Amino acid sequence: MASVTLRRLTKTFDAVAKPALHELSLDVRDGEFLVLLGPSGCGKTTALRCIAGLEVPTAGEILIGEREVTHLPPADRDVAMVFQNYALYPHLTARANIAFGLEVRGVAAPEIARRVRETAERLDLVELLDRMPGQLSGGQRQRVALGRAIVRAPLVFLFDEPLSNLDATLRTALRAELLGLHRTLGATIVYVTQDQVEAMTMGQRIAVLHEGRLRQLGTPAQVYQRPADVFVARFIGSPGMNVLPGHGRGMGEGGGVVDCGTLSVPVALEHYEGEIHLGVRPEHVTLCGADQGMGNAAVVVIEPLGAETLVHLSAGGLPLVARLPGLVELRAGDSVGVKLDRRHLHLFDVAGERLA
Ligand SMILES: Nc1ncnc2c1ncn2[C@@H]1O[C@H](COP(=O)(O)OP(=O)(O)O)[C@@H](O)[C@H]1O
Ligand SMILES: [Mg+2]
């Protein structure tokens, strides 16, 4: 296994457009499961393709272990990539698909047979080895694609949204399988997804990308509890963090107040006046009787989910979501008091950068 180091990696496809990747620096530790998370078009696939050697970066360096590989061809990098759309050879059996990479590398037949069998056992594919891809379900095809990567025992695995074409149940099952594989293989994995639940549940660390730039790198807890900016705050969590535009006043020693919509929220931030963004996660919003909280809000929509209820509110026109335990007796149009948990407030400047 090996670490992966990106140093100010930049990729520009089109001189006039914004770069797909902008000075991305990242250290993936030896044996780490690192998730690259971000919305469609933020540069995730481009980053993986650069690491795999399928794209030549415009600037910057890539190291695998101690070795600089920026301009080496894919075959000399010892990485395996698994794609969203399986990319199996349709005219080859599952067995031949898994064996293919070893055959082109000239591995001896008995060795290939042994490794294919071992991989098939690990992925529960033994019964399916003689089927063609067309005779396999989506989940089975993706396991064959995984098998094709694993059988080579590469230094680094690159996964590009491998579960996004699968239904929800299968996705959860394969998520657990992938984590198990990571444990038993001790592999270095760079895993790309747009799904923040996958990122939170699978990543040892998450790198959040937006418009080709790294916004935050941290453990799931760090990224959730202390997002670096408004983008990360909103992107992580389901629903994401509430971010309300407001106005800070009276912030001397010991803090002041942020007014947003109908709410006046005491904050600990000192010496700051003017426009500010107040962030609070839905689970840190509680409701009380009208006029008994930090301000009143109108109930707009209620989503009862069983174990919890999401209450969508309007605080003087500003949308605010509360996540309340269990089922609640509320109706659209009700007026309620709102309290925000003061220990869990986030403050961002108008550019979206974290203040506190
Ligand atoms: N071969 C290409 N030619 C031109 N533009 C590209 C090419 N590949 C990707 N891009 C652009 O680079 C940006 C990042 O794309 P991509 O890495 O595929 O994003 P993601 O995988 O996060 O959805 C997008 O704006 C995309 O349109
Ligand atoms: Mg992509």
* 146-173 per-position pLDDT tens digit: 999 999 989 999 999 999 888 888 888 8
Of 329, 324, 299, 294, nearest in space to 312 by CA: 299
Encoded amino acid at 7, one letter: R
Cα end-to-end span (Å), the chain: 39
Residues in the chain: 356
Answer positive or negative: Cα dihedral of 283, 196, 60, 146.
Answer: positive
The per-residue pLDDT for 173 is 83
Mean pLDDT value across residues 271-290: 95
Six-digit token string for 329: 């007796």
Contacts of 182 (CB under 8 A, 6+ apart): 33, 189
The per-residue pLDDT for 165 is 82
Task: Please determine, for residue 341, whether its predicted confidence score (pLDDT) is greater than 90.
Answer: yes
Q: Ligand 1 center to residue 182 CA distance, Å?
A: 28
Q: Ligand 2 being an ion, which residues bring their Cβ within 5 A of it?
A: 45
* 81-90 per-position pLDDT tens digit: 998 877 899 9
Six-digit token string for 154: 């590469």
Task: Please determine, for residue 23, whether its predicted confidence score (pLDDT) is greater than 90.
Answer: yes
Choose which residue among 9, 10, 13 to substitute to test ligand 1 binding: the one with the highest number of ligand atoms within 8 A of its C-beta: 13
The per-residue pLDDT for 299 is 98
CB 42 less than 6 A from any atom of ligand 1? yes
Q: Name the residue at shortest CA distance from atom 21 of ligand 1.
A: 45
CA angle 82-85-88, nearest 5°? 75
The per-residue pLDDT for 262 is 98
**Which class is domain 242-348?**
mainly beta
Six-digit token string for 12: 């520009």
Residue with tokens 């496809």: 13
Q: Name the residue at shortest CA distance from atom 5 of ligand 1.
A: 13
Mean pLDDT value across residues 104-108: 92
Within the chain, which residue ranges are assigned CATH 3.40.50.300? 4-235
Q: Name the residue at shortest CA distance from atom 27 of ligand 1.
A: 41
Identify the residue with better confidence: 95 or 250: 95
3-state SS string for the chain:
CCCEEEEEEEECCCCCCCCCEEEEEEEECCCCEEEEECCCCCCHHHHHHHHHCCCCCCEEEEEECCEECCCCCHHHCCEEEECCCCCCCCCCCHHHHHHHHHHHCCCCHHHHHHHHHHHHHHCCCHHHCCCCHHHCCHHHHHHHHHHHHHCCCCCEEEEECCCCCCCHHHHHHHHHHHHHHHHHHCCEEEEEECCHHHHHHHCCEEEEEECCEEEEEECHHHHHHCCCEHHHHHHCCCCCCEEEEEEEEEEECCEEEEEECCEEEEECCCCCCEEEEEEECHHHEEEECCCCCCCEEEEEEEEECCCEEEEEEEECCEEEEEEEECCCCCCCCCEEEEEECHHHEEEECCCCEECC
Within the chain, which residue ranges are assigned CATH 2.40.50.140? 242-348
- With beta carbons less than 8 A apart as the criterion, state whether 140 and 166 touch: no
The per-residue pLDDT for 17 is 83
Encoded amino acid at 239, one letter: P
Q: What average pLDDT does the structure give for the chain?
A: 94
Q: Ligand 1 center to residue 44 CA distance, Å?
A: 8
The per-residue pLDDT for 322 is 98
Q: Out of 1.10.10.10, 3.30.300.30, 3.65.10.10, 3.40.50.300, which CATH number does the structure's domain 4-235 have?
A: 3.40.50.300
**In the sheet that 4-11 helps form, which strands lie side by side, from edge to edge?**
21-28, 4-11, 59-64, 67-68
Ligand (nearest to CA of 16): 1
The per-residue pLDDT for 284 is 98
Task: For 83-94, give one letter per residue: b (16+ CB within 10 A) or e.
Answer: bbebebeeeebb
Task: Please determine, for residue 226, whether its predicted confidence score (pLDDT) is greater than 90.
Answer: yes
Contacts of 112 (CB under 8 A, 6+ apart): 99, 102, 103
**In the sheet that 255-260 helps form, which strands lie side by side, from edge to edge?**
263-267, 255-260, 242-252, 274-280, 345-348
CB 41 less than 6 A from any atom of ligand 1? yes
The per-residue pLDDT for 122 is 86
CB 289 less than 6 A from any atom of ligand 1? no
Q: Name the residue at shortest CA distance from atom 4 of ligand 1.
A: 13
Q: How many whole angstroms separate alpha carbon 115 and alpha carbon 150?
A: 9
Ligand (nearest to CA of 43): 1
CB 46 less than 6 A from any atom of ligand 1? yes
Task: Please determine, for residue 111, whether its predicted confidence score (pLDDT) is greater than 90.
Answer: yes
Q: Ligand 2 center to residue 41 CA distance, Å?
A: 7
Encoded amino acid at 105, one letter: R
Q: Ligand 2 center to residue 194 CA distance, Å?
A: 9
Indicate the pTM of the whole model. Answer: 0.93
